[in-house]
Structures are given as structure tokens and as C-alpha cells.
Amino acid sequence: MIREGYGQTGKVKPRKFVIRRRFLLGVMLFGMMALAGRAVFLQIIDTQFLQRQGDMRHVGVVSVSAYRGKILDRNNEPLAISTPVESVWVNPQHFNKTEQSRFKQAAKLLKVPNKKLRFLLRAKTDTRFSYLKRRINPALAEKIKAMQLSGVYFEREFKRYYPAGAVSAHVVGFTDIDDVGQEGIERGYEQSLKGISGKKRVIRDGHRRVIKDIENIQIPVSGQDLVLSVDQKIQYLAFKALKAGFIEHKALSASLVVLDAKNGEVLAAVNQPAFNPNTRKGMKANSIRNRAMLDVFEPGSTVKPFVIAAALDGGYADEDIQIETHGFYRVGRNLVKDTRNYGTLDLMHILKKSSNVGISKVALMMPREYFWNSYNQLGFGVAANVGFPGEASGTLLDFQRWHDFEHATLSYGYGVSTSVLQLARAYTALADDGVLHSVSLLKRDEDDDAKRVFSADVAIKVRGMLEHVIERDGTAYKARVDGYRVAGKTGTVKKATAGGYADDRYLAVFVGLAPASNPRFVIAVMVDEPSAGEYYGGTVAAPIFAKVMAGALRVYGVAPDKEETMPVLLTGAE
């Protein structure tokens, strides 16, 4: 059988071959003309089409960092602010082998570890994204940009800066490399400060670099600014005085809190040792803790004024009561001791001489439940709820588990634990005529949670007794402030150890208020294990108090009250 178009020899017939070839050439020519016409149309008439199509192949969505809220002191002085910086990242897939020496030079400027540098320069690395350095300073960023290295890109971020440095570090805290709060206010108010990141659609080039913004998909929402109750001037005075005392007495640590006596605002809270959140130099667990709010200790004799106030307020003791001390007092099988025999004392002299025997006898006049409730109302054993992460609550043993000796020792500050902040807060009840204030790290005008715990008459009387503690023959003569009447109480506390109390390790404590006629500030100071010789609260903590109180009264322009006379109190023999 012979197929159509072929002869017996199998060759194509010339006429039909020509027709078929012309047909094919015509189809090809028509197609080429159509393509050429389409190209002319797109490039000359409808120029935006190709641009749109090309752009769509390089369009992406990127995150836009939100500005973290500022932290300000009560006078709007900045304590924490965010500044725009750039981070350097690389895509090793885009490296140019001829630029390796210059890349190594850039890595040296950025202080990139050699191990990481070798990893990025491996010939077969499959890494497409790696940070070279986060949050570099603008001058360094410009140097790296000027090198125009392939595969090296820049990303805008924010870096947290702390203008006050170490002075306010324990209160403000700090953020990590991703701008997330790690300590202090930065951590406690993370949700308010961090804001909400935005999104935008961008065009990238072949190297994934952003070359054009197209549109905002979601506008970033900046974090809220926080205005603290802290006064940076008082904070600086406190920091300087505490650091000097800490160094002078070669202490293990030290803490100090300044409260507004009228509304409980925290005007200053400082600790030693300290750290600088900008450089993170010396930033160890021992130095970053805000001990004033996180650590607890037994307050010792600083609680004795509350025992006197509770006894007077409940009618269990009178102002003119005379108590025999003899230097010791047997309670069950245990002895309560004084440093010497003070003889017969009235309430004022019990505080002035800090008699453990005298205060124990006053405490044992009160029912256990009433005594426990007095401490509890003052905030012992309950967190102050200042809004600081990890804030301590302290301990206060249930009165149902007390024996007479526990009842007695609680009266001079053993068996109860508190933070410096809690102790300062308790003294607001004496400073504000019997009204205990809540404490706040945020600025406020009024304390809506204030409550009365003592009668005004009793608070004023006890405050008058505490003025005698500052006299030359009292335990805190070094707490005096020229021109002002000062009231306060010392504490020299043996530190608890396994199986008892150490005989050579102490806490030196002092809490005071001024002006005593109408207190404006309450200041509590605690120095842990002073080891330069002195260790009493009156010789170690009281002088620190005096420096800070004098400065605070001067800064706030508080009028002197030295010309006023102290309340007349009945005194007994020592």
C-alpha cells in the first residue's frame, strides 16, 4: 500500500512539500508578528502591566516595630527611652567570594566571634539569614554601609537607653536584645510598654533587600508611657549616700526606700551593689536584685514603736506605766535580755533605750490575737502590692502557734520578716497620724486605699517618744538633721543561720521620719553585714538616713520645725 503524497521511492512530491513549507513559515511569521506586536503594546502603550507583574514577584510583607513606651520620673525626666538603631544581618547565599577580605574587616569592626565568622563563610552553608550584630550605633552602621558588601543587609530596630544609668536601674529594670522587659518596671509593665507591631507591604530586589514601600497594612501602635512616683533628684541623693555608706562599712549589701508620708508614693528606692543597664557591666544575680522590694529580713527593734502604739490604742497600757527591767526577763524556759540593766522605764524610755525586756512585758499585756492583728494591719506578712514583679510578702507566724516566748520575741522584731519597702510603709501609720498608706511606684495624687490603724492621738504620742531616740543619750543621735525635728528607731539584728543566730553577723537598720511635727518623708535604711568595725543601726544606718533626709527636705523646700517644742511626756527613771 502506497501512502498519499509519496511515491514508490518514499520521496515527498515537490508541489505538496512547497505548500506545506509555506504554510508552516506563514504560521511562524504570524506568531512572531503577534509577539512583536504584543511586546510593542506592553512596552510603549501599556507600560504599567509589566511593571506590575514584575513587582508582584518581589512583593512581601514585613513587620514594623512599635515604639516602646517611655518610663519617666514624676517630673517627666526620662528614665528609659527607645532610640532607632540598625541591626546587621547576612544571607551567605549572596556572598561574593572576591569580597571575603572586606567582609572579614567588617566582621572585625562588629566584633563578630571567629567561630561564627567561619560558619558563615563556609562554601556549602545553607544559611539564608543570620544576624551579624544587633543594634549597632549609627556611626558604625554608616561605616559598614559604605563598604557595600554583597549579602550584607540592614534592619531598623529600637534600642533601650537608660539616662539615669545605675542610679535608677533597680527600679526601672532593663530589656533583652529583643526589647522584652526582663527586670523591674520594664518587666512588670511589659504589656503596657511594648505596644503593638505593625505590618507593611514592600518590594524587594533580587537580593531580598527592601527597595520600596507599597502600603501600610497595619499601623504600629506605640507603647504607653509610664510616669513613676520616683523623684530622680531624691533617687540620686539616696543612691549617692547609700553607696558611700556601703563602701565605708564594707557591707554585703544595702537598701534604702523613701516614701511620701502623705500618700505612700515611692520617691526613691536604691540598693547596693548596683549595675549599669546601658553597659550591663557587672550585671550579676547579686547586683540586679531590687533588694528593697524583693528581699526580707527580721526587722529587730524597729517594730517596737508599733507594740507601744498597739498597747496604748487598745488600752492595755497607760502613758505613765512604769516597768521594771532588771536587765533580763524569764519567759518560760527562755531569757529575754537587755545589753544592761536599765532599771525602771516608762514607755518613752523603753523606746529610747531600746529595751527588749521592757517591750516584751508590754507585748505580753496584750492578747495574742490582738497583738497579731496589729502587726497584720500594718502589712507584715502581706505583700505591699506596689506592682513590682517578684515583690516579697514576708512572714508573720499565726498567733495560734505562738508560745509566750514567741509572743515576746515578736515585740523586738524576731520571728517576723519584712522587706525594706514594707517596713517603710508601716511607719506611714505613725507619720500620718495613725493612717496607714498603700505604696505606689506610679505617680498619684491621692491614696484611695489608705486606712486607719491607730488613733491620731496615739500616733502623735508615739511619734513624740521616737524624737527622744535621736537625742544625745538615745540610740540614734547620728540621725539628727539640722533645723528639723526627727523621729525614728534603730535596729541591730543578729542574722539567722542554720540552727540559730550568728554572733558576728548583723543587719544595721534605721527607720525615721521628718519633720516630726508634720512628717513629709519616711526613710528606711538597711545595711547587711557591715564589717568595718561598726555594726549598730545607730552608727551605720542612721547617718545614711540623715544625709538623704536632709537632702530631700531641702529639695522640697520643707520649712524647719526645730523651734517647735516636743510633746510633753511623763518620764521615769532609767
- In whole angstroms, give the CA distance from residue 451 to residue 434: 9
Contact 158, 83 (CB under 8 A): yes
CA distance to 50, 274, 276, 279, 287, per residue, from 284 (Å): 59, 10, 11, 13, 5
| 301 carries an active-site annotation | yes
C-alpha cell at position 179: 526589647
C-alpha cell at position 564: 517647735
For helices 456-467 and 420-431, angle between their N-to-C axes, nearest 10 degrees:
110
C-alpha cell at position 507: 543587719
Q: How many Cβ atoms sit within 10 Å of the Cβ of residue 531?
A: 13
Whether omega before 515 lies within 30 degrees of 0, making that bond cis, reads yes
DSSP annotation of 125 reads: -
Active-site position among 301, 355, 360, 440: 301
The pairing of beta strand 416-417 with beta strand 435-436: unpaired
C-alpha cell at position 128: 539564608
DSSP annotation of 70 reads: P
Closest CA to 242 of 526, 554, 536, 532: 526
Closest CA to 384 of 421, 417, 415, 429: 421
Closest CA to 105 of 75, 151, 143: 143
- In whole angstroms, give the CA distance from residue 479 to residue 507: 17
CA angle 461, 551, 265 (to 5 degrees): 65
- In whole angstroms, give the CA distance from residue 498 to residue 375: 26
**Collapsed DSSP state (helix, strand, coil) of residue 19:** helix
By CB neighbour count within 10 A (0-12 exposed, 13-18 middle, 19+ buried), where does 23 fall?
exposed
Closest CA to 487 of 523, 510, 450, 516: 516
Bridge partners (DSSP) listed for residue 210: 204
- In whole angstroms, give the CA distance from residue 428 to residue 459: 10
Q: Which residues are catalytic?
A: 301
